[in-house]
Amino acid sequence: MAMTSMELEELPSETEYSSSATFRGFIIPMEEQGKNGDLVLEIPMAASSSNVPIKDPFVLSFNNLTYDVKVRHKSRFPFPGSNNVISPENNTKSLLNGITGEAKEGEIMAIMGPSGSGKSTLMDALANRIDKHSLKGSITMNGEPLPSGLLKVISAYVMQDDMLFPMLTVEETLMFAAEFRLPRSLSKEKKKARVQALIDQLGLRNAAKTVIGDEGHRGVSGGERRRVSIGIDIIHDPILLFLDEPTSGLDSTSAYSVIKVLQGIARSGSIVIMSIHQPSSRILGLLDTMIFLSRGKTMYCGSPENLPHFFDEFGHPCPDYGNPCEFALDFIRELEESSDGTQKLVEFNKSWQEESVKRDNKASNKPSLSLEDAIRKSISQGKLVTGATATGDDHQNLISSVPSFANPLWYEMVVLLTRMALNTRRMPEVFGLRFGMITVTAIILGTMFWQVDDSPRGIQERIGCLAISVSTIFFTCTTEAPEFIKERFIFIRETAYNAYRRSSYVLARSLISIPELIVLSLSFSLIAFPAIGLTGGISGFIFFFLTAFGTFWAGTSIVAFISGLFPDYFLAFVMSIAVVSYYLFFCGFLISRKRLPKYWLGIHYISLVKYPYEAFMQNEFRPSKCFTRGHQMFDNTPIGSLSRSVQDAMLGSMGNILGTNFTDSTCITTGTDALKLQGITELSKWKCLFVILAWGFFFRILFYLTLLFGSKNKRK
């Protein structure tokens, strides 16, 4: 009981939940606008009392929502949640079947039902996360269709999983959300004031300076994590708030505190719609409307107070002492397993709803304001701080004045770069692992190939050393895969409702990697180049460094692209290693281009390993450099074991045949000869470097396209 009292004391009183109080004074007056032309608001003072009935509220109505999916094949394995009705005529599964209801401003609507009943599907339908061509029925707000673009701006969706950066504090997490969602016209001080007000609203004051934490770092509690997730999505005070099972995995006290916060958010002028599995009796008292589903059909739609009366009239009264929701869920499950099914309860609910409409005269409670006027009024009271203006008489102009994104692209990049840099600084082990790998590899190569000589054996050692260098750099880049996949779900959550552009993320992620790649390339070059005794002097070292940097750039780019295609740690890592291995097979090191079968030449030319390998080779084997002189040509041959006089005689005989004089100082093999032997004759080293960099940009563009088309998080 002591714990319960402590946690409940953190929750603010209901009088603190006012939309006008939340943003009062945060908006710059028109005469104080900057020269950038951003549209801003002057918010009037308004009364704040949750007990005052909301006048002209928003009403989200949905009528006869139906969603069917095609079943491609019959699985032999049982999967949970597969109890939806399957039509044998057209081989389709009905996930939603004629769902009707409405949610009002200032209220919490809870969607309930057994597992596989369609709770998440209905949430996705209302949040426009289902393709409009697949979803049948209508969804309106204040009697008007809700455009997809506008819905993204006025709503927020809190996912079930709390995907947060573990090493950021609660305050920093909310502050970055404010930087993304609030317009740049708001000063830094006013954004901080909004964050502090939200921390108090969510009851997170004691945890404001605590890191979020994860499995390896101690952080906030589960209930606090859930409230932080909610805070991220309500930082701009949206009109519509969707939550997918916000109490999942929480104890009863933490679950109650989360729903209490949601009640305050609803009272401040929002529509709150959430799915919940089995609410406690205390949580039940905080809900305003409930929808019970079973296999995509409505079992009950109404207030919690009317739930016992509903089952009384159906002939199955609720127990006098107990949770009506638990009884309803258990009873629905029994009907699902019975031979008669739930059809009788579905039909009774329809008739009961019709009688309720007549009895309560709900038809007269329709909102008097149009959608545009309601949005304008809500903005004037401090809701939806996106940089839109609340003045003007043109309805279409109001809709167009609500920007798709709160900030320009360059500002999003600055905020993303700041957050990425902070995460990197607080998790140095990620970069430290790469730095350690590449440094150890350089030391091993330097000591293994210490000061290679100019001889036929030295040629082979140089070629092998350079090939190992390129492959090591590419394999080091595969550590990029887990790093992005950790951020993937955060990225999807933030971009789903236009916190920032996908292009901003790709550009920021590319820029933040450049300093790291420079450090890695410089470390590798400073150790390996002089230790191995590579040729070229200062100019050769600079080109070696540039090629190493280009290789890192191309490697991290293709791994980022693969990570965008495969959102699983294991798949992305295995695919990255496999692709690098295949590139190594066809780069020209194991078998030269001239000896490669024609049907593999296409793979040879698209091999990313080919171009840095050839650039390193041309930087090392220069035309003026001699690698074999006189008797060295007999090294690694049976003649090499003979005496020097015999070798001199052999040189003389060869010179007589060729019409030239061969001595111990005669150059037999130059760098050009070594390159020809490896089939490296098509591109110069600078062109190879250019191709490497171009491949990096190409895969960054592909990475962007995978995020653009592969992270819409929308059902078909």
In this prediction, residue 515 carries a pLDDT of 94
- DSSP-based three-state secondary structure for 700: helix
Own/partner long-range contacts of 313-322 (Cβ < 8 Å, ≥24 apart): 313/348, 313/352, 314/345, 314/348
8 Å CB contact between 105 and 265? no
Tell me: the pLDDT tens digits for 335-348? Answer: 888 888 889 999 99
The residue ranges of every structural domain in the chain are 2-401, 409-629+670-710
Residue of 517 and 251 predicted with greater confidence? 517
CA 378 – CA 398 distance, rounded (Å): 12
Residue of 380 and 110 predicted with greater confidence? 110
CA 454 – CA 640 distance, rounded (Å): 16
Reported confidence tier of residue 714, pLDDT bands at 50, 70, 90: low
In this prediction, residue 48 carries a pLDDT of 36
Which residue spans within 89-215 are E strands per DSSP?
Answer: 92-104, 108-112, 135-141, 144-145, 155-158
In a 10 Å sphere around its CB, with 0-12 CB exposed, 13-18 middle and 19+ buried, how is residue 36 labelled?
exposed
Q: Give the pLDDT mean for 590-608.
A: 87
In this prediction, residue 88 carries a pLDDT of 53
Closest CA to 288 of 420, 106, 465, 423: 106
Q: Give the pLDDT mean for 543-550.
A: 96
Tell me: the pLDDT tens digits for 266-292? Answer: 988 899 999 998 888 899 999 999 999
Residue 361 has pLDDT above 80, yes or no: no
Tell me: the pLDDT tens digits for 499-512? Answer: 899 999 999 999 99
In this prediction, residue 417 carries a pLDDT of 96
Q: In what order do the strands lie in the sheet with 144-145?
A: 85-87, 92-104, 59-70, 135-141, 144-145
In this prediction, residue 679 carries a pLDDT of 83
Residue 311 has pLDDT above 50, yes or no: yes
Q: Give the side-chain half-sphere CA count within 13 A for 116.
A: 13
Reported confidence tier of residue 385, pLDDT bands at 50, 70, 90: low
In this prediction, residue 20 carries a pLDDT of 39
Q: Give the pLDDT mean for 44-68.
A: 65
8 Å CB contact between 59 and 105? yes
Q: Are strands 240-244 and 85-87 parallel, antiparallel or unpaired?
A: unpaired
DSSP code string of 451-471:
T--SSHHHHHHHHHHHHHHHH
Tally the residues of the chain.
716
Closest CA to 46 of 430, 431, 382, 281: 382
Residue of 392 and 626 predicted with greater confidence? 626
Pick the CATH number of 2-401 from 3.40.50.300, 3.90.550.10, 3.90.110.10, 3.90.1170.20: 3.40.50.300
Residue 6 has pLDDT above 60, yes or no: no
Q: In what order do the strands lie in the sheet with 240-244?
A: 155-158, 240-244, 271-275, 108-112, 289-294, 297-302
8 Å CB contact between 693 and 553? yes
In this prediction, residue 242 carries a pLDDT of 93
CA 637 – CA 258 distance, rounded (Å): 80
8 Å CB contact between 443 and 615? no
8 Å CB contact between 98 and 67? no
Closest CA to 184 of 24, 26, 408: 408
In this prediction, residue 78 carries a pLDDT of 46
Closest CA to 271 of 362, 371, 176: 371
End-to-end CA distance of the chain: 48
Tokens of 621: 């084997």
In this prediction, residue 55 carries a pLDDT of 58
Phi and psi based region of residue 139 (left: phi greater than 0; alpha: psi -120 to 50; beta: remaining): beta
Chain mean pLDDT for the chain: 82
Residue 79 has pLDDT above 50, yes or no: no
Residue 471 has pLDDT above 50, yes or no: yes
Weakest-pLDDT range from 70-74, 248-252, 336-340, 527-531? 70-74
Residue of 704 and 154 predicted with greater confidence? 704
Weakest-pLDDT range from 87-96, 197-206, 339-348, 461-470? 87-96
In this prediction, residue 208 carries a pLDDT of 93
CA 136 – CA 63 distance, rounded (Å): 9
In this prediction, residue 240 carries a pLDDT of 92
In a 10 Å sphere around its CB, with 0-12 CB exposed, 13-18 middle and 19+ buried, how is residue 392 labelled?
exposed
Tell me: the pLDDT tens digits for 122-162? Answer: 999 998 888 878 899 999 998 888 888 788 888 888 888 88
Q: Which of 374-378, 636-640, 674-678 has the highest mean pLDDT?
A: 674-678
Looking at the chain, the whole-number percentage of residues with pLDDT higher than 90 is: 36
Closest CA to 325 of 357, 282, 295: 282
Residue of 387 and 440 predicted with greater confidence? 440
CA 246 – CA 287 distance, rounded (Å): 14
- Beta-carbon contacts of residue 516 (< 8 Å; ≥ 6 apart): 424, 431, 434
Closest CA to 164 of 155, 174, 154: 174
- The pair phi, psi for residue 130, each rounded to 5°, is -125, 135
- The pair phi, psi for residue 404, each rounded to 5°, is -65, -35
Looking at the chain, the whole-number percentage of residues with pLDDT higher than 70 is: 84
Q: Are strands 144-145 and 135-141 parallel, antiparallel or unpaired?
A: antiparallel
